[in-house]
Structure 1
């Protein structure tokens, strides 16, 4: 079964929102495992956004 739901917010925007929310929650979390997990989630979302932007570009896909 395929998901035919139309997304109204672009993936890169959703990933940026996830990263911002994780960073916001990490700011108020006490130092420890939870804070580090939130910061890692933010970094992963930002990396995924950069990869999405990169593969969305026209032309050859050579790393810089």
Structure 2
């Protein structure tokens, strides 16, 4: 049985992959950069969730 947080992490990872795929087909510019930035932030969040020793930013 998966923990709810694990399922959430998988959903976040899938979202980051989808955003990067969307960005691949776009010309360089504002919207593409925005999608890549969001994907990067999601990936950072997943790493943070997966690291038991880290604390939330204050």
Task: Give the TM-score category using the shorter length.
Answer: 0.7 to 0.9
Aligned residue runs from structure 1 range 5-24, under 5 A: 10-24=7-21
* Structure 1 outlier segments of 4+, above 3 Å: none
Runs (5+) with no aligned partner, structure 2: none
8 Å Cα contact 1:11-1:49 kept in structure 2:
no
2:48–2:54: 8 Å Cα contact kept in structure 1?
no
Give the TM-score normalised by structure 1.
0.70
SS at match of 2:51: helix
Counterpart mapping for 1:1-64 below 5 A: 10-55=7-52, 61=53
Q: 1:46 to 1:62 in 2, by over 3 A?
A: closer
Supply the RMSD in Å over aligned alpha carbons.
2.0
* Paired positions, count: 51
SS in 1 for 2:27: coil
Q: Does the aligned pair in 2 maintain the 1:19–1:45 contact within 8 Å?
A: yes
